[in-house]
Structure 1
Amino acid sequence: AAVRRDHQLVIGSKASAYAISKLEAAADTAGLSAEEWVLTGHLEDIRFRDLFRGSSLFVFPSKHEGFGLPLLEAMALGVPSIASSSTSVGEVMGDAAYCFDPEDVSAIRDKMDRALQDDEWRDQLSKHAMLRAADFSWDKTAQLALSVIEHKFESKSQNALGTPRAGPIAREEIAEAIVACGAGTSPGAQKLELTAQCLAVNLKAGRQDTLFLDITELAKIDGKTGIQRVVRALLLAIDQDHTRGLHVQPIFFDEHRFRCANDFSSLFLGRDVSGDHLIDFGVGDHYLSLDLNIASIEASEPILKEMQRRGVNLNFLVYDVLPLMHPEWWPAGLADGFASWFAVVSRVADRLICISRAARSDVAAQIELNSSNKTRSPKLGWFHLGADIKNTSPSVHLPRDADDFFGRIVNQTTFLMVGTVEPRKGHALVLDAFSQLWRDGYDFNLVVIGKKGWLVDDLADRMRACAKNGSKFYWLQGASDEFLERAYLSCSCLLAASEAEGFGLPLIEASFHNLPVLARDIEVFREVAGDAALYFDGSSAEGLVAGVLRWVRQRELNEIPEPADMYAMSWRQSADALLDQIEI
């Protein structure tokens, strides 16, 4: 009874309607309430890893398996595990003491009961899991496969004519004989260059597998956009992650080829490197485009295809596909450029990795809508961004009157908006709502941090005029990351009014600084903030007015949602989740 009270049974699997009905019947027979067991349905790989890590015990009662990969994945994460003794599963587990007869319900129950109530034995299971999992790796599997293949060929050392085959020893002798022949003439420069290219393509010469991080736009200029803040943060976090056995190499496209961004890395990452030489790539390498490289994507497509032919895994970060869904929000040239970028990456990518589950759904819909190649589509994944501004290589600068400004607003009800002023960001709606609140006698402050974007000339004129006419509205363009962090700490509430987003980075940055959030009720904000934010109806200014007043009332009653309840990852955790998506 104690075990059932303290633990929930989670079945991580999709199931047919028939299988679900059988499980429900079994649960009823066993007296399990709906709160005591869960059938998850289909889960993304990253959610399975979260499920593994949150488990007290992993039970694998399979009767028929070719191997037992779910068991090995759980063990690799150190999850205490017990498993069936049948077929290959017992072999993967590696110790009969941790196995049970899958046909014997009592045996399964006894093993589960001991594992969940005997802390010492559960620790023993966890240690065994990690030690056993270390015996399995794709490298070892490949080496064993090669050994078997070579042995097979060596055992048939002669062909039908009786001629010895070229085994490992024969290959060395042949190479020495070729060298001994000599050509008698010196090759020209062109032949030497071709020979060098062939050697580079076919021989890795002990070179470590490399993760190429494409930062083409950032290497040219840091535009201080939200995307480039993400690029900086992920670049720093991945560069500091030395646990995955890959060399991390930032690169950029020079209009013709990809080059190592060594000069940039020397300044930004503090690396002792110089010279932006051409990259050398091959099987086992991974390419990850962190930047939104619209200007260079078409010119780089042939090189990307060449990299793919030579065994490089191609991955692209997708922040959103809003220019495809709402081209009216962007200048025509930019929307057309984005459409070209998306067409290329959809053709060449092995994987597109989105910054939210909602963005992944949008990408899947656009691929289905626009792809002319229905036989090959990239894999799709998603992860969430980090929240700690200090780990984004933040810009550091405060104007002389910063202390005076924050001193004025810190003890007043102040709403903060963060992001470039664009048509979709909701600034016009917010200004309408706050103008009405000010007319009604409310003295709330509204602080907007973000530079002027496109297609907002009339709105920008209105915002500048509003900032001049009163002391309750502040528009701060070109603010540093240091200033932004002070704003998160000094304001009363983050106001997120966007009509659409790929993620909503300010929400988790606000949560990281314990700043309450009032957000437009859209899918991606619900995904990011969950119950840790208050939401408003964004269909009209009146809806926002009602939302602001409701937030103020709930604050007075100490009933506003706790921002700390929002799950905000560090950039290191975000980078780990991204690399998990690439499967390295």
Structure 2
Amino acid sequence: MQACLTDSRDRGIGRYADNLVAEMVRQRQDDEILLALDGADPSRLRQARSRLRHQYVRAATTVMHYPTNAFVDHDALRMQSAARLRGRFFESLGVDALLHTSHFETRGSYTTAIDWAADPRPGTAVIAYDVIPLLYPDRYLEPDPFLAEWYPRKCESFSKFDCFLSISQATRVDLIEQLGISPEKIHVINAGLDPDMLAIAQADLPVDETILARRGIDAPFVLMVGNGDWRKNTMGAVEAFARLPRSLQKKYLLVLTQVGTDVKEALAGAFSQIAPRVRVLGRVDDVELATLYRACRVFYFPSFYEGFGLPVLEAMAFGAPVLSANTGSLPEVVHDPRCLFDPHDIDAAASLLEAALEDVAFREVLVSGVKAHAWKYDWTSCAETALTAMRTLAGEAKAAQPQFGKVDEFDRLRVTQDDIDAWSELLIAAPDAGGSLEGSLTAAAARGRRRILVDVSEVVRLDARSGIQRVVRNYCAGLHALAEDAQVEVQPICWTEHGILYASDYASSHLGMPIDTVNAGMRVAVKPNDLLLMLDSSWWSPERFDALHAQVAAAGGEVVWMVYDLIPLLVPHTCDPGMPPAFRRWLEHAAATADGFVCISEATRQDLERFLDEQPAHPVARPWTRAMHLGSDLESGQVVGQASETIASLLEGLGARPLVLAIGTVEPRKDYATILAAFEKVWARGGDVALAIVGKHGWNVEELVLQLKSHPQLGTRLFWLQGVSDTDLHHLMDRVDVLVQASIAEGFGLPVVEAGSRGKPLLLSDLDVFKEIAGEEASYFPVGDAEALAAEIERGVADGWKVPANIRTLTWRESSRGLMEKLLY
């Protein structure tokens, strides 16, 4: 995945590799794919991981380490030694085939170890973008002595690959003619539209005039997208526009993106007469670019040579009339040969441009079927062709180890004498790099599975038995139980006044986890590629974990926070006054330090995304977010003991009277006041239905509590049950006619799942999270509307309740498996 870490990562090559590999993973069928990332620069590693997460690329990753990411033009010893380490790393993986996403990288970070002379076996493949410097040596090689020596040497090693994934037929021809590569080794996979750009194109939105106005585009325009590279021939666009009739120059603008000094000098000198009609925008983002494609009168692309020609494809995807040079791969991409021109013939090109601007019939030719043509270029077919080539390359050979389908992270390589020799050579070549070398050696020597460090600080400190702490205990034990299958190591940790320590002793004695306690009470020592899961409720003083987070980031690991809800921010009046400001500080801190978040519902995830939209830009990359659902202790069909005397007596006394159950702490957020008010209306109108409230006495409900305790229906039609065991709750669930939840806000809604999975009717406030869980299988009423709730109760008693059939409770093991998946992918 080197193309996604070098300085190419934000350019065409990096985005191409991102999209191709992501689709290969999705199309892999029984293939096992391992993504190799570079750990030399933790910041870039985190960015690359973030992109994979945001694309939902479900593949195992491995991290390679070597001692330097600096490129030294003439330091052959350092380049060769780093390359040996990289080669040994790939050999250690035991794969059947190896694909390189980029081979020609230089003069930038993350390029040293790419400069290698020999590939390790197994069979090796490479993406072939172009060999343009060989076609125009006078422009790219001869002016630069270093490149004149470096590029032919790279071509020599490039030609030794076993398989070439060419992005166009034109590149295929160049590989054959310029490098003498056998045609049977070359597979043309083409390219696809970026999924985000395609989605914008297919949305068929109106032109955003504010973007055009902000960029000074106040008239119909000719668009050319490029950069300062000579071969893009931006001057060709300037020259063609300058040869249009004066009337058309006054009617239209020429809009350019990035330009070179030749264009700047020309507009200030020889072409100054058209300068007022030219807009040089510089770099544009995808949203701006989409607007330009959609709004342009003509897209004009006079490039001297392209390996593929993505701007032409993108412009067509937005329905733009396209004129393109007839060079390189561009004739393969356009939908109609009548739009092609010779970029060296300025007069003919200008005439074609004039026709595209003013000739109605010719414009119809340019736009007819252009969108459908462009939209056919998707990554699915590219990935299928690439996978077929890679399977052929792999052949029947099977690597003995490792079995990737059972492995989620390989981030170490075995240290041999060859490796030590290579590090020694690097140390001699760069004696000032001792710290970097030591860190790399540590990373290589520390063999083993990826670790998931799980924060259980508050559970250890308080050992409470409710709410989030029950979730923390279940997930900690659940992840540990799944560790062997996932090929990871799960280590509980906790913050103490003496530092952040391993909590294996607590996990063993209190959670029943069969865990090695040899490190109990020792300070946590971060290892490369660790994943730190902030599972517990660390809302107070989150900065106490800052040092640990920094160590994990520096070691190329990830920090993931669990988010249960955003209630203190969304409905602060339902919380203790001190909670909302403390919670905001915590979430702001988490947003600035996290690689990702896991939320307990999609509704909570969307709340979090809206919060992240309001935060300052993350220093590395915007955190990814995932949603999942909690497990349950109240499994349907579970064999339970006898009900307590209190519950047995209550149920016996009810007889055939309908029973409505409400579950949850009696606190403002649960809005029991609305439930009680609704039942008082039902009772006043002669309804004979019972209400049982199961939940402890919470905060700031003294008036309601007094009302409950003194209610005339208490003990006959109204029951408030505190300290109910799971066994008694089972018996109540078996007897209940309907569950009512009137919450003002929730992060999930476990009672809804537990009751619904038993086929118990559901009467719920109309929260998004309840609708996420129950969908059309529940009845809803507006939050806080006692009359609407009373009407629903009376309707259900009279006509029968809507009975859910498709709500299912997750066991904690199933939910833990979902959490493990979210953490690793």
1:149-195 C-alpha deviation (Å, 9 max, x unpaired): x9xxxxxxxxxxxxxxx9635258789x9xxxxxxxxxxxxxxxx9x
Q: Quote the residue 1:235 is aligned against.
A: 476
1:432-477 C-alpha deviation (Å, 9 max, x unpaired): 1111212222121111111122221211221222277442111112
Q: What is the deviation of 1:378?
A: 1.5
Q: Quote the residue 1:163 is aligned against.
A: none
Q: Quote the residue 1:580 is aligned against.
A: 821
Checking the alignment, whether the CA contact within 8 Å between 1:384 and 1:574 is kept in structure 2 is yes
In 1: Cα distance, 2:201 partner to 2:531 partner: 42
**Residues 1:168 and 2:419 are matched in the alignment:** yes
**Distance change in 2, residues 1:478/1:136 (3 Å):** closer
Checking the alignment, whether the CA contact within 8 Å between 1:389 and 1:485 is kept in structure 2 is yes
**Residues 1:259 and 2:501 are matched in the alignment:** yes
SS at match of 1:566: coil
SS at match of 1:346: helix
In 2: Cα distance, 1:506 partner to 1:435 partner: 24
Q: Quote the residue 1:91 is aligned against.
A: 389
Q: Quote the residue 1:212 is aligned against.
A: 453
Q: 1:441 aligns with which of 686, 703, 710?
A: 686
**Residues 1:490 and 2:735 are matched in the alignment:** yes
Q: Quote the residue 1:500 is aligned against.
A: 745
Q: Quote the residue 1:250 is aligned against.
A: 492
Q: Quote the residue 1:331 is aligned against.
A: 576
Checking the alignment, whether the CA contact within 8 Å between 2:531 and 2:552 is kept in structure 1 is no
Checking the alignment, whether the CA contact within 8 Å between 1:204 and 1:282 is kept in structure 2 is no
Q: 1:271 aligns with which of 498, 508, 514?
A: 514
**Distance change in 2, residues 1:463/1:394 (3 Å):** farther
1:289-315 C-alpha deviation (Å, 9 max, x unpaired): 222122352322232222222222111
SS at match of 1:235: helix
**Residues 1:354 and 2:599 are matched in the alignment:** yes
Q: Quote the residue 1:426 is aligned against.
A: 671
1:347-379 C-alpha deviation (Å, 9 max, x unpaired): 111101111111111111122234475874311
**1:192-211 mapped onto 2 (5 Å cutoff):** 205-211=446-452
In 2: Cα distance, 1:461 partner to 1:570 partner: 38
**Distance change in 2, residues 1:503/1:516 (3 Å):** same
TM-score after normalising by structure 2: 0.48
In 2: Cα distance, 1:235 partner to 1:359 partner: 21
Greater displacement, 257-266 / 219-228: 219-228
Pair member with larger Rg:
2
In 2: Cα distance, 1:341 partner to 1:200 partner: 36
Q: What is the deviation of 1:138?
A: 8.0
In 2: Cα distance, 1:478 partner to 1:365 partner: 37
In 2: Cα distance, 1:550 partner to 1:448 partner: 21
Q: What amino acid does structure 2 have at the position aligned with 1:347?
A: A
**1:80-479 mapped onto 2 (5 Å cutoff):** 87-92=385-390, 94=392, 168=419, 170-171=421-422, 205-241=446-482, 242-267=484-509, 268-271=511-514, 273-274=516-517, 275-371=520-616, 373=618, 376-389=621-634, 399-409=644-654, 411-466=656-711, 469-479=714-724
**Distance change in 2, residues 1:207/1:525 (3 Å):** same
SS at match of 2:769: helix
**Distance change in 2, residues 1:272/1:398 (3 Å):** farther
Q: What amino acid does structure 2 have at the position aligned with 1:91?
A: A
**Distance change in 2, residues 1:415/1:246 (3 Å):** same
In 2: Cα distance, 1:349 partner to 1:173 partner: 36
Q: What is the deviation of 1:545?
A: 0.5
Checking the alignment, whether the CA contact within 8 Å between 1:419 and 1:450 is kept in structure 2 is yes
1:358-409 C-alpha deviation (Å, 9 max, x unpaired): 1111111122234475874311111122235259x99999644332223334
Q: What is the deviation of 1:345?
A: 1.0
Checking the alignment, whether the CA contact within 8 Å between 2:761 and 2:804 is kept in structure 1 is yes
Q: Quote the residue 2:756 is aligned against.
A: 511
Checking the alignment, whether the CA contact within 8 Å between 2:494 and 2:500 is kept in structure 1 is yes
In 2: Cα distance, 1:394 partner to 1:340 partner: 44
1:531-563 C-alpha deviation (Å, 9 max, x unpaired): 1211123342111101111222331xxxx3332
Q: What is the deviation of 1:231?
A: 2.1
Which structure's relative contact order is higher, taking Cα pairs within 8 Å and 6+ residues apart?
2
Q: What amino acid does structure 1 have at the position aligned with 2:490?
A: V
Checking the alignment, whether the CA contact within 8 Å between 2:675 and 2:789 is kept in structure 1 is yes
In 2: Cα distance, 1:394 partner to 1:455 partner: 38
In 2: Cα distance, 1:414 partner to 1:310 partner: 57
Q: What is the deviation of 1:263?
A: 2.4
SS at match of 2:734: helix
Greater displacement, 517-526 / 278-287: 278-287
Q: What amino acid does structure 2 have at the position aligned with 1:210?
A: R
SS at match of 1:429: helix
In 1: Cα distance, 2:383 partner to 2:608 partner: 43
Checking the alignment, whether the CA contact within 8 Å between 2:412 and 2:446 is kept in structure 1 is no
Structure 2 gaps, min length 5? 1-194, 205-374, 429-434
In 2: Cα distance, 1:412 partner to 1:445 partner: 7
Q: 1:571 aligns with which of 812, 815, 823?
A: 812
SS at match of 2:485: coil
SS at match of 1:250: strand
Checking the alignment, whether the CA contact within 8 Å between 1:518 and 1:551 is kept in structure 2 is no
Percent identity among equivalent residues? Answer: 27
Checking the alignment, whether the CA contact within 8 Å between 1:226 and 1:419 is kept in structure 2 is no
Q: Quote the residue 2:277 is aligned against.
A: none
In 2: Cα distance, 1:142 partner to 1:64 partner: 38
Checking the alignment, whether the CA contact within 8 Å between 2:634 and 2:730 is kept in structure 1 is yes
**Distance change in 2, residues 1:272/1:317 (3 Å):** closer
Q: Quote the residue 1:520 is aligned against.
A: 765
Q: What amino acid does structure 1 have at the position aligned with 2:693?
A: V
Q: What amino acid does structure 1 have at the position aligned with 2:623?
A: P
Q: What is the deviation of 1:528?
A: 0.8
Q: What is the deviation of 1:269?
A: 2.1
In 2: Cα distance, 1:352 partner to 1:272 partner: 26
SS at match of 2:746: coil
Q: What is the deviation of 1:262?
A: 1.9
Q: What amino acid does structure 2 have at the position aligned with 1:505?
A: L
| Coordinate RMSD, CA, aligned | 4.2
Q: What amino acid does structure 1 have at the position aligned with 2:419?
A: P
In 2: Cα distance, 1:223 partner to 1:300 partner: 22
Structure 1 gaps, min length 5? 1-12, 22-61, 72-82, 97-127, 151-165, 178-193
In 2: Cα distance, 1:140 partner to 1:222 partner: 35
Checking the alignment, whether the CA contact within 8 Å between 1:433 and 1:541 is kept in structure 2 is yes
Checking the alignment, whether the CA contact within 8 Å between 1:417 and 1:494 is kept in structure 2 is yes
